[in-house]
A and B are shown apart, each in its own frame.
Chain A
Amino acid sequence: MDDEIRQFAEGRPPAPAYRPEARARARELLLAEARGGGRFRLPRFGWQAVAAFGVTVALVGGVAAALSGRPQEHLAAAAGATQSAAVAEPPAGDLEPRPGQFILVESDTMYGSMTMGRNGEESRHLYRTHRKIWQSVDGSADGLLLIEGREPRPWPGQRELPKDAEGRQSSLWTTLAACPGAPHRSDYTYLSTLPTDPAALRERLYTAADEKDVDRDERAFGAAGDLVRETYLPKAQRDALFEAVKGIPGTQVAEGVEDSAGRKGVALGRTAGGTLTQLIFDPATHMFLGERQTVVDERAGQAPEGSVVALTAQLKVSVADRLPDEAATAEPGGGCPSSAVPPTEQPTPAATLSPPENVTEGPEPAVTGTMTATPAAPPAVKRSPSESAPAVPESGVAATETVPAPPVAPTETAPEPAAPGAGS
């Protein structure tokens, strides 16, 4: 008998219970990784958000009518009905989000949901939501996500919804933890530092392709999708990204592809796993309109050929000064990767912390017809732009409005780590 070993076995120290919140956080980290974390590794920068409020800017990409409230039972019919309004107008001007503000992206989404059943069989259905996501412009503050469930649909080729598809239609407010220094960033400040040269940007997409088990081109394409989904990129980066993705071998270009709001755009697509995934862009502005997945191989795609298994529309991108009140009661979402913020390293260069009132010069926001000035503290974000609104900052709040963005030079000049791997 292994007496000595048995003694250790019987003398094992008690293990404290795995705290549910820690367990949930670990699981969320894992899921975040599974969804494509670890893409870009960026130097950290610690400048603080400058408090700025008073101006709400909105850029309407297309169909506001497709927002909430419309019965969405018959998406095809609805899309047809909005066809005339569907083609995205080229925005009259770009957004000028500033640190301290939030980018709000509203979208309708439909994606496949898979459940593995008791006996190894999988059940699938199409899971639909309307989403609003507020993300800190510079990644410094917690964000907020609202998910409103929409009527789910049966998986193509199936008549009925699986039982577990029910009960997902309530609204869910979730706080999105700010993760300064996290490897995977999608905040505007970061996105503005991406190369504006398509070849250089394409290189960057490939730095994500460090997993040996997945096709590199496929990963680069996936990284591109992560950059445009629920984000806002400056025009120069949008243009570069469009060309960069086009340059990924195997990418197909298709004209006139519709998003879920019926807007037509130019699609860049790739086929993998029997499914064609297309990122749809406005041909003129290269704003991301939505994505579409179509089964091209029945066996691999697990649905009849030609069926659409994902379809989204990014309906509206706007800038908000603050989170809505629901932020106070939102459920905490996933935490940050443990590697994200080394607590010892919190550089806050003094130069970048100068109070806003000291800053008198700087780029005026490029005010255009899509901007609405709303003096004082606006009631959060739901403000729609009125196209005819004068774009002039009101004198009463001029001091705040002319506050330029804090110097972004530290980020722009900091060398990007070239090595993609460097896992924690």
Chain B
Amino acid sequence: MREDRHVVSVRDIPETLDDSALIGHSLSEPETFAALFDRHADEIHRYAARRLGPELAEDVTAEVFLVAFRGRARYDRSWPDARPWLYGIATRVVSQHRRAERRRTHALSRMSVDRPATFDDRSADRVTAEQLQPRLARALTRLSAAERDLLLLVAWADLTYEDAALALGVPVGTVRSRLHRLRAKVRRALGGNDPFAEEPQHG
């Protein structure tokens, strides 16, 4: 009943077997779903951690895969890549923590520009990225929840518009028009400046 019953070893899932086939397989061999976790958990965790911070990210990641597992029969198997689906679930789970996200975004937006990096990875790029955050974080607070979900799926999870549309369950045309609107909002929030430039660009 516990531990090793019906052992299914999923270490060696071939890369040629796409997510869709894997999910199909997991209908009869539920444990093979763990291979989907092995493939995508790190990525989902990164996304959750960026949005909610490290504490909640672990719970969220676990929850995402449980929700995904329970809903696996409804997965549209014509999509070989499960990432959009997982990100869609992740987005919904994250949205249950809106308050925590607001707190985090708020905190990031107040972070001083010269605040030292908080994580071990202190490459020059990383520090640059951190220094960008307060401005971006402030811009984020101007967006609606739906706009933020979309923007961050595209910007932080690197989903294509098509994948983001899948994840959010909206037509890709809607994604395009929403992005268009939110870009304008962001531009205004950022003051029309290139946030990379600490100095005015022309001067």
A contact set with B: CB distance below 8 Å: 2-16, 18-19, 22-23, 25-27, 29-36, 38, 109, 111-120, 127, 129, 131, 133, 145, 147, 164, 174, 176, 186, 211-213, 226, 229-231, 273, 333-334, 337-338, 423-424
* B8 part of interface (Cβ distance < 8 Å): yes
Query: A2-B179, A145-B2, A213-B27 in contact; A11/B132 too (CB < 8 A)?
Result: yes
Residues of B within 8 A of A12 (CB): 50, 129, 155-156
B contact set with A: CB distance below 8 Å: 1-14, 16-17, 26-35, 37-38, 41-42, 45-47, 49-50, 54, 57-59, 61-63, 65-67, 69-70, 72-73, 108, 117-119, 121, 126, 129-130, 132-133, 135-136, 151-152, 154-156, 158, 179, 182-183, 186-187, 190, 194-196
- Closest A residue to B123 by beta carbon equals A14
B156–A8 CB distance below 8 A: yes
Which single member of A23, A111, A337 contacts B7 (CB below 8 Å)?
A111
Residues of A within 8 A of B152 (CB): 8
Most buried by B among A23, A111, A164: A23
Nearest-neighbour CB distance to chain A for B17, whole angstroms, equals 5
Residues of A within 8 A of B126 (CB): 14
Residues of B within 8 A of A423 (CB): 67, 70
Q: List 19 A-B contacts (CB under 8 A).
A: A4-B186, A8-B151, A12-B50, A13-B129, A18-B57, A27-B37, A33-B70, A35-B1, A111-B4, A114-B8, A114-B9, A115-B8, A116-B9, A118-B14, A176-B3, A213-B72, A213-B73, A334-B3, A338-B62
Most buried by B among A30, A186, A211, A338: A30
B12–A117 CB distance below 8 A: yes
Residues of A within 8 A of B136 (CB): 7-8, 11
A35–B31 CB distance below 8 A: yes
B17–A424 CB distance below 8 A: no
Bound form: Cα–Cα A18–B182 in Å: 31
A174–B3 CB distance below 8 A: yes
Bound form: Cα–Cα A33–B72 in Å: 13
A10–B132 CB distance below 8 A: yes
B1–A231 CB distance below 8 A: yes
